[in-house]
A and B are shown apart, each in its own frame.
Chain A
Amino acid sequence: MSNFRRLLGYLRPYRYRVFLAVFLMFMVTLTALPLPRIIQFVIDRVLPHHMWHTLNWIFWIIIGIYLFRGIVSFSLNYLIGWLGQRVVFDLRFHSYRHLNRLSLSYYDQRQTGKIMARAVDDINVIQYMITGGFVTLITDMLTLVLVIPVIFLMNVKLALIAMAVVPIYVFNYKLFLKKIRPLSVEIRKSWDALIGTLQEKISGITVVKAFVRENYETEQFIKTIRLNYDLQMTQATLNRILAATATIIRAVGTGLVYWIGAKLVGVHTLKVGELVAFTGYIGYLYDPALRLVDFNVQAQWAGASMDRVFEVLDTRPEITDAPNAKSMTNLKGSVTFRHVSFGYSRDNQALIDINLDVQPGEVIAIVGPSGAGKTTLVNLIARFYDATEGAILIDGVDIRQIRLESVRRQIGYVSQESLLFSVSLAENIRYGRNDATREQIIQAAKNADLHDFIMTLPDGYDTKIGEEGIKLSVGQKQRMAIARATLTNPRILILDDATSALDSKTEANVQAALEKLMKGRTNFVIAHRLATIMNADRIVVMDKGRIVDIGTHAELVAREGVYQNLYNEQFKSAQDEALAELLG
C-alpha cells in the first residue's frame, strides 16, 4: 500500500491536472445518471399520455447530454493519457538516472536483462495501472457515491435489497485477493528468469555451440517457460472463479430487485418506468464491483512492478560525491595509496595494506600472478569501488573528497575486457570526447596502430561495428579501446592488460606512440608479458593482495622473489638458447 502512496507522489507535480481530471471524471459520471430517469419518464409519462411533442424534446436532450459527455470525456481521456505518459517518463528518467549513479558493484550482482526488465516492462505495467486501473477505480467510486443516494431516494426498500448482496461480494473478493497477490509476484519472477536466461544464452551462444549444448539449452528454456505457463494458468483460474461468482451475485441482486419491484408495481407503490430506471441504476452499482476483478489483477501486477522499480530507486549508490567534494580540473597526476585495504565482500580480502607513492609522470607497471589484485588496485584509482580501509590520494587529496566526475574525466581507463558499442568506429573512438575532430580521431587510431586496418574497410571510419556491423578481432577491439582512451587526453592512464591480444610488433608500435603521447602523465600498466613493462620506471609486484616488491626491472631480476620466478619462467627458452649458443 505504501507503494501506491509513493506512486501518488509521482503525481504531485501535476496535482492541478489531477484535480482537473477528477473533476472531469465527476462530470462524466454525472452525465451517465439522467438516462435511466429519462427512460422512466418516457415509460411512465410520455407513452401513457401520448406526449408527442415532449418526445421530440427528449430526443434532443439525449443528443445534448451525450454531446456534452463526449466533449468532457475527450478532455478527460486526453488529460489522463498525458498524465500516464508523463509519469512513465518521470519514472523512467529517475530509474535510469539512478541506475547510472549506482556503482559497479550493483551491476556485478545482476543480469542486464533483469535490470532492463525493470526499466522497461515494470514501468509499462505501472502506466497501465495509472491510465487504466486508477481512472476506472476513481470513476467507479464517484459513480457509487452518486448512485447510492439516487436509488435510496427512488425506493428505500429496493435499494436495501440491491445493496444486500454487496457484502457477499466483498467477502468473496477478499478471499481471492490473498491468493492472487503472491501469484503475481511469482509470475513476474518467472518472467524475469525467462528474460535473464534468454539474454545470457543468446549472447553466450558461442559457448553453447562449442560444447554442443543446443538441446540442453532448449530443455532448460522449456523449463522456464513451463513454469511461467503453470503460473499463468493458475492465475487465470483464480480470476475466472472470482468473475463467475461476481456474475452470479449480480444476477441474484438484479433478480431480487425485479421480483420485489414487480410486487411493488402490483400494489401500485412503484411505477413500471421507475422499476426500469432502478434496474438501470443498479447496473451502475454492480458494474464497479465486477470491474474490481480487473482492477485487482492490474493492481497486483502493478504492485509487484512497483516493488521492483522502487527497489532500484532505493538502492543507495555506494559511491557518491561527498557533500563538500571539490572539483579538480587540472590534475598533476600523483597517486598515493595509504594503508589501503579492500574486499569485494567481508570474507574476501582482495587488497591488504597497500602503500604506494606515485609521482606525476611516472610509469608504474604492475605484475603478479592472476588474481593477485592488480585490476582491483587500478579500479580503486578510478574509484569504481571505495577502499575499505586507508585512503587513496590524488595530488594529495583524498579521492573521496574530489568530485567523481572530475576524477574520472582525467583518467583514461582501458579495462581488461574491451567493450565497444554498436555504433561506427569513429563514434566509438570519440566516446570519451564528443567534440573531437576527425583529425584527432584519426590520430588516436594511428596511436593505436589501427589506422591502416580501418582504411582497408570499405566504409573506413564510418564502418559500424557490433551486432549490426562487422566484427573485430580481439586485438582490434583492444586497440579500439586504447584509441578511445588516448583521445580524452587523460592525466592518468591505466592500461589493464590492454595489449595482451597484440603481437609484439603491433604492441611495440602502440607503445612507441603512447610513450610520446604520455610524456608527463602518470601511467599504470598491467601486463603479463614482461617485455611490455621492462622499461617502466618502477615495477610493482603483487601477490595475494599485497605488494611484495617494488623496483626497476634490473633490481627485481637481481633479487630472489616472485618477479625473478616469473622472469625465469618466461625467458627460460631464451636463456637456454643464449647459453647453448655461448657454449657452442
Chain B
Amino acid sequence: MRNFLRLVRELKAYWKIMVLIAILTVITAGLGLPGPLIVAHLIDSLYKHNPINLFLVFLALVGIAAGTGLVGYCLTFAVTYLGQQFKMEMRRRLYSHMQTLSLGYFEKNQIGKMMSNITNDVATLDQLISGSFVRLMQDSATLIGVLVIVFIKDWKLALVALSVSPFYVANYLLHIGHIKKAADDVREERDIMLGDLQEKLAGAMVVKSYAKERTEVRQFVGQTRNLLDLNVDLSMLGTRLWTIAEFIGSGCGVALIIWYGGREVMMNRLSPGNLVAFISFITGYMYGPILRLIQLNDQFARTNAALNRIFGTLDTEPNIQNKPAAKVMPDIKGHVEYKHVWFEYEPGQPVLKDINLDIKPGMMVAFVGQSGSGKTTMINLLSRHYDVTDGAILVDGYDLRDVTIDSLRKQVGVVIQETILFNTSIRENIRYGKLDATNEEVEDAARAANIAHVIEALPKGYDTLIGEAGIKLSGGEKQRIAIARAILSDPRILVLDEATSSLDSETESLIQEALDHLMKGRTSFVVAHRLSTIVASDLIVVMEKGVIREAGSHLELLQQGGIYASLYNQQFKVALESREAEGVKL
C-alpha cells in the first residue's frame, strides 16, 4: 500500500491532466447510458403505435455516437499522453539515478535485470496508470449509472439480475490464487531464460570455440519447453475463469432477465422496450465492470512488484557520495598519498592491507606484482570508485572524500585494464574523453596514441564504425583508442592499468615517448607486467597479496635482490645471458 501512496505522490505533478481524464471518463460513461433508453422508448412507442419522431431518434443516436467518438478521442489522447509522459519521466529518473550509483552496484546486479527495471517494470506501471486507473473510473461511473437506472425502472428485476453476481465474484476469487501463482512461475522461468540468453549471445565466441552450440540449444530448448508448459497452464486457468464468467453473466443472467422480465411484461408491470433496455444494460454494462473491478486487485499485485523494484532502485543510495560540504578539487598538482589504506570488497576479506605511499608531483609510479595482488584496486580507490575501508588517500593534501567526485574524476584519466569501447565511430569513441573536442584535437590524440596511421588507412578513416565493444578492431588497436581517449581528456593524473599489454614493445615505446612529452610535470601511474615498460619509472611499487613488499627505483630494487629482481631476471634471462656471452667475447 505504501508503494501506491508513493505512486500517487509521484503522480501529483500530473494532477491537471488526471482531472481532465476523470471528467472525460465520466462523460464517456454517461454517454453510454442514453442509447438503450432511447431504443426502449422507440420500441414501446412502436408497440403501442404511438407517434414518434424517427428523425429525432436517428439524430440522437448518431449525435451520441459522435459525442462518444469525440470524447473518446480526447480521452485516449489524454490517457496516452499521461501514460507516455509518466513512462518517459520514470525511465529518465531511473536511468539518471543508476548513473549516480557507484561501481559496486553494477557489479552486484545483472545487466539484464537493470535493463528490465527500466523497460518492463516501467511498462507495467504504465499499464496500471493508463489502463487500469482509467478503467476503474469508467467502470465505477458506468456501474453506478446503470444501477441507478435499473433500480428506478424495476427494482425487482434489478435484484434478479444482480442475483448471479455473487457466483460471478466467487468464480473469480476461486481462480485468482492459482492464476497468480502460475503467472509468478512463468515470470521466474522467463527471467532465467532471458539471463542465460543474454549471456550466451554475448559470449558467442566462447560457445563457438568449444563447439557447444548444440548443448546450448538443447539447454535453451529445455528452458523454453518449461516455459511453454507453464504458459499453457496459465492460459488454461485464465480460459476457465472467463468461460465460467461468461456462462454466469451472459448465459444465466440473460436467461433470468428474459424469464423474469417476460413475466413482468405479461403482467403489465414492465414495458417490452424496457425489457430490451434491461438486457443490453445488464449484459453490456454491468457484469463486465464488476469483473474488471475485482480484477484490479490482481493488477495491483503485479504492479506492486514492479513498484518495489522501481522504488528499490530509486532508493538505493550511492555508496560513494559527495559530502554536503564537499569542495571542488582545484587543479591537481599531483601529490598523491596513501595513508594506512585498508580496503575490502567483501566484508572480512581485505584486498589491500595497510598501504602507505607518498607520490610526489610529476612522478611516474609503476605497480608490479602478482596477478590478483590488488593493483587495479589501488587505482579504483584513487578515482574513488570505492571508498577506503580504513585510512585515507590524499591528493594535494585533500582527502578524496572531502572533494566532489566530478571534480576529482575529471582530472584523473584512467585507461582501464579491460578496454571498453562503444558501438559508434572511432571519432566518437575518442571524443568521449572530451565531448567538445575538435577533429584536430581528436586526431592529435590518436597520433599520440600511435593509432592515427592505422585509422587513416581505413577506407572510412575516423568515421569507421567499430562494432559492439570494438569487436572489429584488434586487441592492441582497441587499447590504443582507449589511450587516445584518455589523452584527449587532458588529465592531471594519468593512470594506465595494463593499457599497453597487447602492444608490441616498439609501438609501446613510441606511445611512451608521446606520453612523456604530454605528461611532463604530471603524475602518472602505470601497471604493467612487461618490465621493459616500467624500468624508467621514478618509483616502482611491488605488491603481493595486498601489501607493498618493495618500493624504489629500478636500480635500487635490483640491488635489493628481492621479488622485483627475480621477476626481472626471469623476464630478461635470455637477453642477459646472451649479452654476457657476447660481452665475454668482446
Contacts and interface: CB of A to CB of B under 8 A. Distances in A.
Nearest to B510: A569
B440 interface: no
Interface string A211-243: 111111110011001101100110011011101
Contact of B570 (A50, A104, A405, A505): A505
Contacts of A82: 232, 235
Q: How large is the interface on A (under 10, 10 to 19, 20 to 34, 35 or more residues)?
A: 35 or more
A265 interface: yes
Nearest to B582: A578
A115 B201 contact: yes
A362 interface: no
B507 to A, nearest CB: 6
A247 B235 CA distance: 31
Nearest to A245: B69
A573 B537 CA distance: 12
A404 B81 CA distance: 54
A474 interface: yes
Contacts of A368: 504
Given A240-B76, A578-B579, A210 B501 contact: no
A411 B206 CA distance: 12
Interface string B205-236: 11111111111110011001101100110011
A229 B575 contact: no
Contacts, number: 487
B15 interface: no
Contact of B265 (A47, A208, A216): A47
Given A81-B239, A100-B217, A248 B110 contact: no
B80 A236 contact: yes
Q: How large is the interface on B (under 10, 10 to 19, 20 to 34, 35 or more residues)?
A: 35 or more
Interface stretch (B5-13, B18-26, B365-373): B365-373
Contacts of A110: 468
* B406, B423, B535, most chain A CB atoms within 10 A: B423
Contacts of B111: 199, 202-203, 467
A269 interface: no
B73 A370 contact: no
B62 A252 contact: yes
B72 A369 contact: no
A59 B255 contact: yes
Given A221-B95, A272-B43, A473-B371, A216 B383 contact: no
Given A467-B109, A473-B371, A575-B575, A421 B203 contact: yes
Contacts of B114: 202
A298 interface: no
A26 to B, nearest CB: 17
B88 A225 contact: yes
Given A47-B265, A578-B580, A528 B72 contact: no
Interface stretch (B98-106, B175-183, B514-522): B98-106
A99 B204 CA distance: 9
A386 to B, nearest CB: 14
B57 A474 contact: no
Nearest to A56: B259
Given A66-B251, A81-B239, A195-B119, A262 B262 contact: no
Interface string A469-502: 0111111101100000000100000000100111
A218 B96 contact: yes
B159 interface: no
A258 interface: yes
Interface stretch (A88-96, A138-146, A147-155): A88-96
A468 B192 CA distance: 13
B69 A416 contact: no
Contacts of A324: none
Given A250-B65, A528-B502, A262 B72 contact: no
Interface stretch (B149-157, B391-399, B413-421): B413-421
24 contacts: A52-B266, A78-B236, A92-B220, A92-B224, A93-B221, A116-B201, A200-B422, A213-B435, A214-B96, A225-B91, A225-B92, A248-B66, A272-B43, A279-B39, A404-B211, A415-B209, A432-B210, A434-B215, A473-B372, A501-B501, A501-B529, A531-B571, A531-B573, A571-B572
Given A92-B220, A212-B406, A570-B505, 19 more contacts: A46-B266, A69-B247, A81-B238, A101-B213, A206-B103, A207-B432, A217-B99, A222-B88, A229-B88, A248-B62, A254-B61, A255-B57, A348-B459, A415-B206, A474-B498, A500-B501, A505-B570, A573-B535, A577-B558
